[in-house]
Structure 1
């Protein structure tokens, strides 16, 4: 009896995985395509990159990331920004600095310390600041 239950469970997992892998992604409902999506905070889609305020500032994300999955096994950002896909998607390529590990070795895949994009990159919004900020961009940077 235990063998039959194990076999049925295994068959269901294999069939479910095959169905999931066979489905194609519907990009028409993607937040990057639907720039008019409004949530609690409006996240406008910019066609160009926002100016940086200082050297090595992580660029802001010009689209919504709502529902993005970034785990140790899956990184939704790399589907558009990865080295294998950026040419077909038109998205900016992941910076070469993201391929260097903490020991300075360069790899062909994104370094684990740079893998979780939302630790440094944030979506641009029209949200009001939580605290007052007197920061001014360095000379030659910003608007």
Structure 2
């Protein structure tokens, strides 16, 4: 009877260990933002992801700018950030892309760092691609006066 209980405990711990290892492996892998070339799926159907378009007007103070181009195939993970290849301080002059904001180099204590702060490294937490999709949920948001035009 003791061996049966031990076998069950051992198999439970083994399964738990396997889940932990799998979770760590998944979390450590780079996120690939690969999508089909021009279309992304939504609950409502299909939306077009334009290759390049004009910047959309901001609707409020300190709104993160939207991405005016497709990000299909971009990789953003702990080892690589495709956005910084054009927007990083070393590259923006030669690519013509807007430079990453100095606020992205501040840590949570307001100290300036020599590289992008970890909390600002994953661009898609705040910046999203522009699309021609209709809103999924309706709202009555109005831009601040002077914004959104």
Could you tell me the TM-score, scaled by structure 2's length?
0.68
Alignment RMSD? 1.1
**Residue 138 (structure 1) aligns with:** 144
**Structure 1 residue 43: Cα displacement:** 2.0
Q: Match for residue 56 of structure 2?
A: 50
Counterpart of 2:88? 82
The answer for unaligned runs of 5 or more in structure 1 is 1-36
Hey, what does 1:107 align to over in structure 2? 113
- For residues 134 and 148 of structure 2, what CA distance do their matches in structure 1 show? 19
SS of alignment partner, residue 104 of structure 2: helix
Work out the number of aligned pairs and report it.
Answer: 106
- Give TM-score, length-normalised by structure 1: 0.71
Runs of 4+ in 1 over 4 A off after TM superposition: none
* Distance in 1 (alpha carbons) for counterparts of 2:148 and 2:132: 17
1:1-143 aligned within 5 A: 38-40=38-40, 41-44=47-50, 45-46=52-53, 48-143=54-149
Gaps of 5+ in 2: 1-36, 41-46
Structure 1 residue matching 2:75: 3-state secondary structure:
coil
Cα deviation, 1:65-112, whole Å, max 9, x if unaligned, reads 111110011000000000000000000000010000001110121000
Of Structure 1 and Structure 2, which has the larger fraction of its residues in strand?
2
User: Structure 1 CA distance, aligned partners of 2:81 and 2:38?
Assistant: 24
